[in-house]
Each structure stands twice: as structure tokens, then as C-alpha cells.
Amino acid sequence: MTKLNTIAVLGGGSFGTAIANIIATNDFKTYLWMRDIGRAADAQEKRENSEYLPGYKFSNNLMVTSNFNEAVGKSDIIVISVLSESFRDIQKMVAPLVKLNSIVISTTKGIEHEGFTTMSQVLEQELSNVRIGVLSGPNFAKEIIQKQLTGTVIASEDKTVTDLIPQVLSSDTFRVYVNEDRYGVELGGALKNMYAIMAGLANALGVGHNSTAMLLTRSLAEMGRIATKLGANPMTFLGLSGVGDLILTCTSDLSRNYRLGYAVGKGKTIPEAMAEIGQAVEGVNTVKLVKQKAEELDVYMPLVSGLYAVLFEGQAISEVMKLLMVGEQGHDVEYSGN
């Protein structure tokens, strides 16, 4: 790959901004596309994203723009960092502009309601003749820009993608690992959001370390259980995009999902908690989707069922904890061959 390659990051939130600037710092011409014309112009002039990452100065190779046609049409690699609710609409805009055999990477952690569709599956449906990948892991943008040591995963069946993306994104403090299980990596990023809400709820009620450890471990078991039913490799969940991301989002108040759970645990309604956070919280919708899918596939997920009851039916979190003690599942480690 030469310095002539141009890369576009679509989405001007904190993670999209951080990723775009890493790429630009690696000496690639990079576009950061923002939908809002005023925000894009402000960021380009000030050389920082004042709304999401104030004080984080941009590389000279980074151009912030609201010109979608220019950003996509000139780029060989396109990174999508938008909310799941607008993901498909963005791909419909990308489709007529994207170059043949371009690499298109999703960093969005969510599931579309229609058909229980992941974001890379949306890419498959909306784009043709492109190379698709997923980037996911325990990656808080605020720590990435502080140059805290961070690992992430690029997942694709296409070796061109897994060969090139680490070159584009890696830095002294940002390490990109490779996985071929795109679906498993993507499910890990989406499913863990639900359990981060539960962890926030539990912490708000003052549960002990023993209880938290039990919740995290059984959450991982549930993630692997439904992912296997859906065709993913359960071993993927032992990596950064599974247990790594789960630990991060369930133990830090930098996680929006954790903060929502904590606020609800302290007596606020979901709309009140969302208003306080001020950004989208993907896990709330994911709880509804996964509960429905688990019932459809007959997958045992007591924590998801309990969390649904807490968030949407007014059940006490203490009742959910009791489910762990009386549930049907008795084996500690699944997929061990026992």
C-alpha cells in the first residue's frame, strides 16, 4: 500500500474521529465526513472535534468535510462509524459512489431489527464488489487519544482486508489483531452492550465483587451460547472483541450502556437516563432484539430475559440475580467437550 491511498471515515463521533486521526497520522490522506455542514466546517477550521474530543488536534493529513461524494468517491478504504439506526441509509448513499474492490469496514456495534441483521450483513446487502471487514474491541476513544495501550480486532474472511487494515491503523499504542470470524467479532461488540447495562444496574444497588464476577462470567456464557446458535465460533468470545470488550464496558463509567444501567438503578427512567447521557445507547434496543431472537431459537438466556423484565416490565434487579441461583443451567464451562 502506498501513500497515494485515500481513506474516508464516515461519522464524526468520538470513535470515528479518533480512528480517522490515527490513519492520518500514519501518513494517509484521510477524510472525516460529518453530516452537519456547520460542525464539519468548525472542525476543519479549528483542527479538532470540539463537541466530542476537544483538545485532540488533527494531523495535517486529515480533512474534515460534509461533502459525501468527494469523501467516498476518492477513497480506496471506507470506514463506517455511524449509529446502527442510520447505518443502512448511509450504505445506500455509499453504493453508487464506492470504487470497485474498495475495502469497507464497519465499526458500528449494533443489530438491525429487521432480520436480526448485523452491520456487515447490511454491507453485504447494500454494496457489491467490495471487500468487507469489521473492527471491534475494547476501545474507548478518550483513552485511545490519550495514547493508552489499546488492542482491537479486524475481522474478515478476505485476506486483503486483514493484511492491509493493521498497516493503516496500527500505531505505537494501538495494536490491531486479526480474526477470520467476522460474524462472531461483530456479535461480541453488539451483545456485550446489554450486559453493561446490567452491570451498571447491579453496581447502583451495591452488589459485591463476587456477584459482579458471576454476572460477567455468566454473561459471557450467554453471548457464546446464542452466537454459536447463529453460526459464529464461540472461541471468538475469548478474545478482545468478546471477553475484552465485555470487561471494559461492564466495569467503566466511560461506557454509555453502563451509565444508563447505573442511572436506572438509581431510580431514573430510561428516557431520563438517555437525556442525561446525551448520546445514543445501543444496548437498550439490543435487549429487545436478543430476547426475541433467543425465544425464537430456544436459546437459554436468563440474564437477557431478566434484564428485559427490569427495563420494560418494572421487575427488581434483585429478582434477576436470584435467577442465577435457581436457573436450569448447571455447567460452568460450555463448549469444553464435557
- Which residues are known catalytic residues? 192
Q: Give helix 209-229 / helix 302-313 axis angle, nearest 10°.
A: 110
Rounded distance between C-alpha atoms, residue 304 and residue 3, angstroms? 47
In contact, 23 and 9? CB cutoff 8 Å: yes
Taking each continuous run of H as one helix and of E as one strand, the counts in the chain are 15, 10
CA distances to 99, 260, 306 from 51, rounded to whole Å, are 31, 21, 36
CA distances to 120, 256, 260, 273, 275 from 278, rounded to whole Å, are 27, 9, 11, 9, 5
Q: What are phi and psi of 267, to 5 degrees?
A: 105, 0
Rounded distance between C-alpha atoms, residue 283 and residue 46, angstroms? 33
Rounded distance between C-alpha atoms, residue 184 and residue 224, angstroms? 9
